[in-house]
Every structure is written in C-alpha cells, then in structure tokens.
C-alpha cells in the first residue's frame, strides 16, 4: 500500500509542477492500467469472472451487451484466463481514455490525475460502463464542433456505446445540449417539465413496457421497473438528498465553468471558440441530469449518470482553468491565477465523489481505498 501511495504522491507533485507534461500524463495512464489490469477484487469482479468463465453456456451468453460479449468470446476462444481478459479490457479502457484526454485538452497530466482520483476506481468495477462512457466522450466532439452531419455521427457513437452498456441510451439526450446557446432558465424549465413527465412514466411502468420491447436483459429492465428495485439499491432519505445534491453540484460546476469561459472570452475579445462552446455544451449536459432525479427517488443506481459526467466536467474544467489563467495574464492582472488554483473546484468535486461513491463499501474488502492491497502487483509488494 505504501508503494502505491508513494507513486500517487509523486504523480500529484509532478502534476502540480507540470500540468501539461506528456511524460507525467503517460505515467498516470500506465499507473492506472496497472491498477486496472492486476486488480484482484472490485465490487463487480466476481460477476464478470463468473460470466466470463461460463460464457459458452446459453444461460450466460446473453448476460451482457453484444459488444462486450463479442470481446469475451474472442478472448475465451483462445483460452485466455480471466485476468488476461481484464488486462485487455484495461488496455482498451486506458487507450480510449488517453485519446479522449489528448483530444480535448492541453493540460493532459492534470486531467489524467483528476480522473485517477475519481471516477477511475468506479470504472475499474463497472467495466462495461467505463468503456461505453469513453466512447460517448470521444463522440461528444461532434456535438461541440457541430460540423456537417454532426448529429448523425454522434448518434452512431451512442449506438456503439450502447453495445457495451445499455444505459448509454440516456446520452442520446445530449443532442439537445448541443444547440446554440440559449437561456439557461428556459432550458432548465423545459428540462424540469420533462422530468415531471418522466416521473409519471416511470412510476406507471410505461417506460418499462416500452424498453422491454427492444431489450431483453433483465437487470437493465429491473432498473426502470419501480416494482423490481433491489433492496440494496433502494433509495433512503439520506441517499436521495446526497444523490440529488450531486446532480445539483454538477449543474453548478458546469454553470461556473461556462461563466468563467465567457469572462475570459470577453477579456480577450475573442470570437466564440472551442473552449467556450464546449463549456456551454457541458453546462446544458449537466442540466439534463435532472431527468435522472425521478429514478433516484426510488433507485440509487441511477447516480451512475452523474459519475459518468465527471470526465467531461474534468476536461471542460481544466480547459476553462487554462483559458481563464491565460486571459488574466494577457490582460495585465500580474501573473494571473495558476491553472492549479483555478482547478481546485474540480479537485474538491473529485474527492467528494470518491468518498461518497465508496461509502457503502468503506468497511468491505473491495473498498476503493484498498485499491493497492487488492492488486496483484502492489499487494504483492506489501509495503
């Protein structure tokens, strides 16, 4: 554990001094791959291992989505053990993550370290959702640039992500966040009305009946069936308050980043650029999380959509922090505020989400805070 914590501390120090360093960025990616590939215990690992080892029995062949099932079949057909399969999934995950971070920001080391804090440990457990989330993030670029046929390309990306996790269907809604900047109040009002409609559709079982026509996976259908909520996932008052609070936190974070991006744009007399457009998209994307509130009132599993928005918020946040810092310097405000200082809200959010996400497992073997003990490499080193 000490060895892993020491590496984490070194990465933190290097990131503070070199937030744009490609070497630090790649080092963080390699560190994450080692944690992912050689993990011996996560919340969902036993489920994944059981399905992997029994994939060729009819009972398990339709357990997961087609894309992930195809990946399992390819590895099982050459008799790879589960840990080798996990290492391959980890490599795919880290490669997609590396492309995503490098695509959206120059502050690659800073973005990677913030992601390492959270939601990396979450995605180590929910392997399918992690791959699906990164596919969505990569295709979000079409929504920001809004080039010719942007909606078609993005929708194709969502379909691809859905082949790895059906919950990615939710991100079809991002198309509505990609329109030209409009009043935040009116957008929130329309989203609130839609949230009320979703509340009734969910509780009356209409959503369940609709999706059951197209999807046969029982677990996914149980999520949208108000009468089939697992007791471990059923929301209590504390969970509801915290979950809704996280949705609100995402909205405030997106609004604040967009506000600072526009301040920097005005200070530099710039036309609307990629950073401002991205911050506007992220602001409205976070507002769409309000649509998950009706589900959160009954089933806390839907907090996953807020977690899956974290990477987009990190990429947007470090971009705005960099842009705002440069604007302060170029307009004569002494040396301006540093990228790191402007990124403190992102650091706080990452730590808060890490602790909250891990609370149900804090005293269990697969707690995120035991990530080094539950690793074939770092656990073997012992110290």
Cα distance between residue 383 and residue 380, in whole Å: 9
Greater confidence (215 vs 112) lies with 112
Do the domain assignments include residue 8? no
Q: What is the pLDDT of residues 233-253, one digit of tens each?
A: 677 788 888 889 999 999 999
Q: What is the pLDDT of residues 181-192, one digit of tens each?
A: 567 778 888 888
pLDDT, residue 12, reads 93
- Is a pLDDT exceeding 90 seen at residue 14? yes
In which band, very low, low, confident or very high, does the pLDDT at 206 lie, cut at 50, 70 and 90?
Answer: confident
Q: Is 229 exposed, middle or buried (0-12, 13-18, 19+ CB in 10 A)?
A: middle
- Is a pLDDT exceeding 90 seen at residue 62? no
In which band, very low, low, confident or very high, does the pLDDT at 262 lie, cut at 50, 70 and 90?
Answer: very high
Using the CB atoms, write b or e for 303-331: b if 16+ within 10 Å.
bbbbbbbbbbbbbbbbbbbbbbbebbeee
pLDDT, residue 97, reads 98
Do the domain assignments include residue 199? yes
Cα distance between residue 187 and residue 189, in whole Å: 5
Do the domain assignments include residue 5? no
Arithmetic mean of pLDDT, 28-38: 96
Do the domain assignments include residue 15? no
Q: Between the CA of residue 346 and those of 196, 205, 257, 260, what are the distances in Å?
A: 30, 37, 10, 14
CA 360 to chain centre: 19
Greater confidence (272 vs 174) lies with 174
Give me the domain span that covers residue 119: 20-381
pLDDT, residue 216, reads 67
pLDDT, residue 160, reads 97
Do the domain assignments include residue 12? no
- Is a pLDDT exceeding 70 seen at residue 35? yes
CA 272 to chain centre: 27
DSSP letter for each residue of 260-296: HHHHHHHHHTPPP-HHHHHHHHHHHHHHGGGGGHHHH
- Is a pLDDT exceeding 50 seen at residue 367? yes
Domain count, the chain: 1
Cα distance between residue 91 and residue 93, in whole Å: 5
pLDDT, residue 331, reads 76
Do the domain assignments include residue 9? no
pLDDT, residue 232, reads 63
Do the domain assignments include residue 11? no
* Percent of the chain whose pLDDT exceeds 90: 53
pLDDT, residue 202, reads 84
**Structure tokens belonging to residue 260:** 């600072």
How many CB atoms lie under 10 A from the CB of residue 106? 14
Q: What is the pLDDT of residues 281-335, one digit of tens each?
A: 999 999 999 999 888 888 888 889 999 999 999 999 999 999 998 888 887 665 5
Do the domain assignments include residue 250? yes
Arithmetic mean of pLDDT, 324-349: 77
How many CB atoms lie under 10 A from the CB of residue 150? 17
- Is a pLDDT exceeding 50 seen at residue 226? yes
pLDDT, residue 95, reads 98
Radius of gyration of the chain (CA): 21
Greater confidence (158 vs 361) lies with 158
Backbone angles phi, psi at 303, to 5 degrees: -65, -15
Predicted TM-score (pTM) of this structure: 0.92
Q: Between the CA of residue 110 and those of 7, 36, 246, 248, 269, what are the distances in Å?
A: 15, 20, 22, 24, 27
Listed in sequence order, the residues at least 6 apart from 175 whose beta carbon sits closer than 8 Å to its beta carbon are: 143, 151, 154, 155
pLDDT, residue 180, reads 64
pLDDT, residue 336, reads 47
Instruction: Out of 15-29, 166-180, 351-365, pick the least confident.
Output: 351-365
pLDDT, residue 335, reads 53
């Amino acid at each position: 554990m000490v060895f892993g914590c020491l590496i984490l501390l070194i990465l933190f120090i290097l990131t503070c001094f070199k937030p744009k360093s490609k070497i630090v960025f790649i080092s963080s990616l390699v560190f994450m791959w080692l944690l992912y590939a050689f993990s011996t215990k996560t919340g969902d690992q036993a489920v994944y291992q059981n399905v992997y080892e029994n994939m060729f029995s009819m009972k398990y062949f339709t357990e997961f989505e087609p894309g992930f099932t195809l990946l399992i079949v390819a590895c099982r057909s050459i008799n790879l053990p589960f840990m080798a399969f996990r290492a391959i999934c980890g490599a795919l995950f880290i490669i997609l993550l590396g492309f995503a971070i490098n695509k959206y920001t120059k502050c690659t080391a800073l973005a990677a370290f913030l992601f390492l804090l959270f939601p990396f440990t979450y995605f180590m457990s929910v392997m399918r959702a992690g791959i699906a989330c990164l596919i969505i993030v990569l295709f979000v670029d079409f929504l920001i640039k809004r080039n010719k046929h942007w909606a078609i390309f993005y929708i194709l990306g969502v379909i691809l992500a859905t082949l790895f996790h059906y919950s990615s269907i939710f991100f079809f809604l991002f198309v509505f966040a990609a329109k030209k900047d409009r009043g935040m109040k009116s957008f929130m009002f329309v989203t609130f009305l839609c949230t009320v409609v979703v509340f009734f559709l969910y509780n009356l079982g209409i959503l369940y009946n609709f999706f059951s026509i197209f999807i046969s996976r029982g677990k996914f259908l149980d999520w949208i069936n108000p009468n089939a909520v697992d007791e471990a996932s059923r929301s209590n008052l504390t969970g509801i308050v915290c979950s809704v609070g996280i949705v609100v936190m995402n909205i405030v974070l997106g609004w604040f980043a967009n506000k600072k991006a526009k301040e920097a744009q005005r200070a530099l007399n710039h036309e609307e650029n990629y950073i401002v457009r991205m911050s506007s998209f992220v602001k409205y994307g976070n507002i769409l999380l309000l649509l998950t509130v009706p589900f959160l009132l009954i089933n806390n599993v839907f907090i996953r959509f807020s977690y899956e928005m974290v990477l987009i918020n990190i990429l947007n946040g470090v971009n705005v922090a960099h842009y705002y810092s440069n604007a302060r310097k170029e307009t004569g405000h002494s040396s301006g505020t540093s990228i790191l200082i402007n990124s403190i809200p992102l650091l706080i959010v990452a730590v808060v989400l890490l602790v909250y996400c891990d609370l149900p497992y804090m005293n269990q073997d697969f707690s995120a805070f035991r990530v080094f003990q539950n690793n074939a490499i770092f656990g073997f080193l012992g110290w």
